[in-house]
Copies of this chain bind each other. A is one copy, B any other.
């Protein structure tokens, strides 16, 4: 049994490789929901959807999120009606959010709604939200506090991040099955996601970090930072502005208490000894997922490092 902590695009690509080299039924994905937000009255779970769309092979290959060849008729009409439309919901995509939102309104939990979405898309992995409770990432910028999507999408990550907090985390509980999946796992993987805003909220759910510390299973992370830079998104600038090193070492230190293995890119081979000095095994390989082969190879190398 494999448990994977997952954010959005990077995690989804990794998982798409993982299901090619491991039985999907053996994989439980624990997804970040601190980026969830309501748009047009719809409950959107961007990270969960990115995982589902990618695993269902319907994801937009250009962006890595959303559904391929989607249209924006409803959104354009909503704009004409004076609604706030900076978050780009496609017409097909909206069907997912309608399903989730309806189930939540009917009193279902986010876990149950997620399960319905996963089944509707025919995804074979188990996908659990980190919590059924409401946790929201609040980003402190020089312009004040904003929600994660406000920072990430609306303001296009232009602000320096001065602080992060996960509102609601203190009182949240892991979703049903999350701790069990971590306890039962033979191997645990932290996907190549932003350690601060994608994996950070998952680890902030009371009980999850403790379970990772306590587990006898090996825990591997794939560094999302290569040559000091994030392949995608603002992780590098965010690490720096929050006082961390923007490097695989910075990532290793954030996970130091829970990590057995850090998978880092060949470009960062020179950092391996510094990683090892943190009592973390360094596995050096190609971590850039350009295609199906490189995704599967990364998944294979990661699995091998912890089995």
Contacts and interface: CB of A to CB of B under 8 A. Distances in A.
5 contacts: A41-B98, A41-B101, A81-B96, A83-B95, A83-B99
A237 to B, nearest CB: 34
Copy total for this chain: 2
Contacts of A82: 120
Given A74-B92, A74-B95, 20 more contacts: A40-B98, A40-B102, A41-B99, A41-B101, A41-B105, A70-B73, A71-B71, A71-B73, A73-B73, A74-B74, A75-B95, A77-B95, A78-B95, A78-B98, A80-B120, A81-B120, A83-B95, A83-B98, A83-B99, A94-B94
A102 B41 contact: yes
A99 to B, nearest CB: 6
A27 B91 CA distance: 36
Instruction: Give the one of A92, A94, A95 with max B CB within 10 A.
Output: A95
A71 B98 contact: no
A68 interface: no
Contacts of A117: 81
A121 interface: yes
A73 B98 CA distance: 13
A285 B139 CA distance: 67
Interface in A199-242: none
Q: Which 3 A-B pairs have the closest CB atoms?
A: A41-B102, A73-B91, A77-B95
B102 A77 contact: no
A42 interface: yes
Interface in A95-123: 95-96, 98-99, 101-102, 105, 117, 120-121
A101 to B, nearest CB: 6
A283 to B, nearest CB: 39
Contacts of A98: 40-42, 74, 78, 83
A101 B98 CA distance: 11
A57 to B, nearest CB: 14
Contacts of A92: 73-74, 77
Contacts of A81: 95-96, 99, 117, 120-121
Contacts of A70: 73
Given A41-B105, A91-B91, A105-B41, A99 B78 contact: yes
Contacts of A91: 71, 73-74, 77, 91
A17 B73 CA distance: 30
Nearest to A40: B98
A80 B93 CA distance: 12
A77 B53 CA distance: 13
Nearest to A72: B91
Contacts of A41: 98-99, 101-102, 105
